Amino acid sequence: MTDIIIRKDGHAGRITLNRPKALNALTWEMCLAIEDALDTWCDDDAVKLVIMEGAGDKAFCSGGDIAEMYASGLRGDFDYGRRFWRDEYRLNAKFFHFPKPVVSFMQGFTMGGGVGVSCHASHRIVCETSQIAMPEVSIGLVPDVGGSLLLAQAPGRLGEYLGLTGDRMDAGDAIYAGFADYFIPQDQWDELKATLCDTGDWTAIDSTAAPAPVSRLASWQSDIDSVFGGETLGDIYRAMPDDLPPALAHATKLMGRHAPLSLAVTVELIHRVRTRQTIENALDQEFRFTYRAMEHGDFIEGIRAAIIDRDRSPKWQHATWQDVTGGDVLRMTLPLGNDALKLEESP
């Protein structure tokens, strides 16, 4: 069984992530295959739109397949991960700028790297099972794959909340936060996909979409904005009231599990991207951290605790958020000079 199925289906270019037992986690090879398909279909007049989908019901894509990154990092080979991220980020930018409609169908889990190949699409569809998140801080990274741009553009300070907590969004939340556009029950997807392939007309999505479900995050917006507008992670923690409303109690519980260094840099990252809201700036800022993540960050320990040993007890290099200094944040966010991300490079 191939990990990815790429073909032309009527007027559509169709990409199916085909690792359902692995929740369709993206491998490096899958990223390169998707990029090649986009490059081919960009100038193919027979392809009117692109469909992105995942096999199975549990996930569109749970993220990147990072086991090999962990193994290479243990060996002291930090270049493997850096090459993977360079190629993945170039793919994310191509989705963002693709000149034809891209329709993504996000059932179940859509997280991390999965966001990068779905939430930059022009037509983003969620359903009753959708669970979308940017949980990178839980493994010692920062929101990447262009996700920092989505977070920077979310209403109010919802971006900081989502980036720092890794909280999961259902369909209503995802539409409210700007990670999705349409709610369509999953039992209508096959018929819609067939129509898109037969006609190449994306307006069929508009006529199929149902009203968006109520968003929990929308009801939490004022409490989130009252705290998550600080300039630094410390400002956010110090703004927490003694009597926490449900939104903030939930936030502090989630944040307490994550890497303090990643949390501190995530605040800085979202603020930098908000000042210049382009996919290029977002990916450049993200790469400054991920380039250094294995050598100087908590990424290897985060993967060990979450994926390898599964003990859920990471030993972060900073015990608490108070231990992270401005110098620590600066070291992870300085320009990379000749090693900076170059989106025009070939794989």
- List, for residues 237-273, the tens digit of each pLDDT value: 999 999 999 999 999 999 999 999 999 999 999 999 9
Angle CA 52–55–60, to nearest 5: 60
Residue 346 has what pLDDT?
A: 67
Residue 280 has what pLDDT?
A: 98
Which residues of the chain are under the pLDDT cut of 50?
Answer: none
Nearest to 125 by CA among 44, 191, 77: 191
φ and ψ at 58, to 5 degrees?
Answer: -80, -30
User: Quick check: is 346 in a domain?
Assistant: no
User: Quick check: is 347 in a domain?
Assistant: no
| Domains contained in the chain, number | 1
CATH of the domain at 276: 3.90.226.10
User: Quick check: is 344 in a domain?
Assistant: no
User: Quick check: is 186 in a domain?
Assistant: yes
Q: How far apart (Å, rounded) are the C-alpha atoms in residues 279 and 11?
A: 28
User: Quick check: is 104 in a domain?
Assistant: yes
Residue 66 has what pLDDT?
A: 84
Residue 99 has what pLDDT?
A: 98
Residue 65 has what pLDDT?
A: 81
Residue 196's domain comprises: 4-339
User: In whole angstroms, how far apart are CA 132 and each of 105, 107, 119, 174, 332?
Assistant: 12, 9, 10, 7, 26
User: Quick check: is 142 in a domain?
Assistant: yes
Residue 347 has what pLDDT?
A: 64
User: Quick check: is 119 in a domain?
Assistant: yes
